[in-house]
Structure formats: structure tokens, C-alpha cells
Amino acid sequence: MMMMMMMYDVHCTRYGCVQDTLIALAKAVASATATLVLKAKEVASKCDSQADKNAVIGSATQCALAASQLVACTKVVAPTFSNPECQEQLVEAAKQVANSVGHVVDTGQVRKLFLLFLNKLFVTAVFYD
């Protein structure tokens, strides 16, 4: 009986480490995402049009929401992570974060490319006038 308890304790301790690691990693993703959201807000503050501001802020908000959902999902599924359905839920939550990060970057890149285009257009107009 004592041997079975020791084996159970070792398993729980090891499994607890997996749970803690998963949660720590999800929190690290959320922290990195928060930094991205702050940068996106800086980009939005420099947008001239309200539509651009809304697009950047909207994508940043969705990104923050996805990161929050990843942390919540991780906390829920970590205790039963050996279950393939739980693994699938966690992978899907992580994919949502990746997709939303990509959308934030795309939104920021579109704005940056548009500004570069306008800058080139302005330079061309100045030199040819």
C-alpha cells in the first residue's frame, strides 16, 4: 500500500510539473501578447484616419482576448492534459492566439506599407514638379 502511494505521489508531482509548465507558458504568451497590444496602440495613435485606428485597435483587442482565453483554457485543461480532447482544445486556443497576432501584424504592416507608398508618392511629386 505504501509503495502505491509513493508511486501515486511521484506521478502527481511529475504531472503537477506539467500543469505548472503549461500554465507558465500560457502566461508567458499572454505577457508577450500584452506587449504587442501596447505596440499596436502606439501604431493606432499615429494613424490619421479613424478607420485605421479602429482596425488596429480592433485587431489588438481580439489578440488580447485570444491570449486571455488561452490562459483560461490552459488552467481548465492542464489537470487532464493527457486526454486528447483537452490537448486539442489547448492547441485550438493557441492557434487562435497565433491567428490574432498575425492579424495585428498584418493590420500594422498594411498601415506601414500605405504610409511608405504615400511617402514615395510625395517624394515623386516633389521631384517631378
For residues 114, 119, 121, 127, the Cα torsion angle rounded to the nearest 10 degrees is: -170
Q: How many CB atoms lie within 10 A of CB 86?
A: 17
Which has more confidence, 78 or 126?
78
Structural domains present in the chain: 2-128 (1.20.120.230)
Model's pTM, two decimal places? 0.72
Which has more confidence, 26 or 113?
26
Determine the Cα–Cα distance for residues 5 and 102; give it in Å rounded to an integer.
47
Q: pLDDT band for 4, please (50, 70, 90 cuts).
A: very low
**What residue spans of 46-83 are helical by DSSP H?**
50-77
Which has more confidence, 13 or 10?
13
Q: pLDDT band for 27, please (50, 70, 90 cuts).
A: very high
The residue count for the chain:
129
Task: State the average pLDDT over residues 89-101.
Answer: 93
Task: State the average pLDDT over residues 95-105.
Answer: 90
